[in-house]
Amino acid sequence: MIEPDLRDRILEKPEVILEDRDLMRALIAATDRAMGSNVVDLRGIAMERLENRLERLEDTHRTVIAAAYENLAGTNQVHRAILQMLDPLSFEDFLKSLAGEVAQTLRVDCIRLVLESVQEADDPALRRLGDVLFVAEPGFVAEYVSGGRNVSLRPVTLRQTIPSSNMIYGETAGWIRSEALMKLDFGKGRLPGLLVMGCEDPHHFKPTHGTDLLAFFAGVFERTMRRWLS
């Protein structure tokens, strides 16, 4: 027999049992056993299917909410990085901020700015700007992004990769496993550039990820660079 105090509590708040999935499953299973194996409870089957559908809807709901929070966090991250990028008053400080606080805010391990130029890369004035700036010969950007293939170049390319050389990343090339490549257009009559973000985590940049925020960041970066190049 059921304990009197437990019985009284159930009678007082029967909705507690209705809201407990495990209890309801146990009650339905007990009902099925009481009816015997030669009776099919269609109502129980319908309830089970509805329950499965509800679980799938709840999973979808949680996934959508998680994606929304992740997108909001990414937006705030990019906005903070842009404000940090706009603070420096000299080009040298601008490049230092990219390698420092901007990279930390974006949670990437390495940022490189590739500029195509007919000027010699060994120019002493360029060496003073540090490792962030990499000067390449004309045509390098398209070759690097496409990997030598005859494909149309997108504004932002995300890929998992192992750098074949240390040309861009220098000493850090050995542990870069994913990268984001953002094409830069500095205006009519100027050679293109490339903003490269490298990460040790192979899952940080994947081709299946969205690129809207990085495209926005690259757009602001382009306009900032035009100011320094003018």
Q: What pLDDT does 189 receive?
A: 82
Helix (H, G, I), strand (E, B) or coil at 22: helix
* Neighbour count for residue 199 (Cβ, 10 Å): 21
Asked if the structure places residue 1 within a domain, the reply is: no
d(CA 146, CA 102): 26
* Neighbour count for residue 139 (Cβ, 10 Å): 11
d(CA 168, CA 221): 19
Asked if the structure places residue 135 within a domain, the reply is: yes
In this structure, what CATH number is given to the domain that contains residue 120? 3.30.450.40
d(CA 7, CA 1): 10
Pick from 145, 137, 140, 184: nearest CA to 161:
145
Q: What pLDDT does 14 receive?
A: 78
- Name the amino acid, one letter, at 133: L
Tens of each residue's pLDDT in the chain, 230 residues: 678 887 788 778 877 777 777 777 777 777 666 666 665 566 666 777 777 787 888 888 887 787 777 778 888 889 999 999 988 888 888 888 998 899 999 999 999 999 888 765 555 555 556 678 888 888 899 889 887 777 777 889 999 988 877 888 888 888 899 999 999 998 888 888 999 999 999 999 988 888 889 999 999 999 988 888 77
Count of domains observed in the chain? 1
Asked if the structure places residue 29 within a domain, the reply is: no
Asked if the structure places residue 67 within a domain, the reply is: no
Q: How many residues does the chain have?
A: 230
Q: What pLDDT does 178 receive?
A: 93
d(CA 73, CA 94): 24
Asked if the structure places residue 41 within a domain, the reply is: no
Asked if the structure places residue 127 within a domain, the reply is: yes
Asked if the structure places residue 192 within a domain, the reply is: yes
Q: Which domain holds residue 94?
A: 90-229
d(CA 182, CA 185): 10
CA 90 vs. chain centroid, Å, equals 31
Asked if the structure places residue 18 within a domain, the reply is: no
- Name the amino acid, one letter, at 92: E
Q: What pLDDT does 215 receive?
A: 93
